[in-house]
Amino acid sequence: MDKMPQTYGGDGGSIPPTTIMDYPKSFVRNGQTFPYDEDLDSEGYVYGVSVTWKGRDAEVWITNDGVSVSFDDDGSLVTTNITPENLFKAKRSLTEDQLADILDRLRKIDLEGKTYTEKDMRGFLKEYLNDREE
């Protein structure tokens, strides 16, 4: 992959010249390259877009039901009130322009949302796994 630009959206996130996640796809928006992966099935979609948000490596996770950002450095997760299903009328998949629109929305709200620590996330996973065993 070519060297990627350092900034995205001025005060928002940026893409580092090398990315931790090796995604098979990428799109370019305003001269910026965004590596991503997708998982599509009959029930919906999951997209992972690799970004750096204010100097922190992160993944933007986009599903039909919502958008969240997980940070690599401390394992925290920020959930947002952005709902792609409402924005894009319950589509089975999103276009690269729609993915870029979501990134633009994140930048505009300055990643406002509920933050969960890595410890919180491990607790949720443990609870989920315990419930599945019952």
**pLDDT tens, residue by residue, 60-90:** 999 998 999 999 888 888 889 899 988 998 6
Q: Tell me, yes or no, whether 2 lies in a domain.
A: no
Query: Would you say residue 4 lies in a domain?
Result: no
The DSSP string of 37-95 is EEEEETTEEEEEEEEEETTEEEEEEEESS-EEEEETTT--EEE-S--HHHHTTS-SS--
pLDDT: is 102 or 74 the higher one?
Answer: 102
Residue 66 lies in a domain: yes
Residue 102 located in a structural domain: yes
116 in a structural domain: yes
* Domains contained in the chain, number: 1
Whether 112 is in a domain gets the answer: yes
Predicted pLDDT of residue 16: 37
Print the domain residue range for 78: 13-133
Question: Does residue 99 lie within any of the structural domains?
Answer: yes
pTM summary value: 0.72
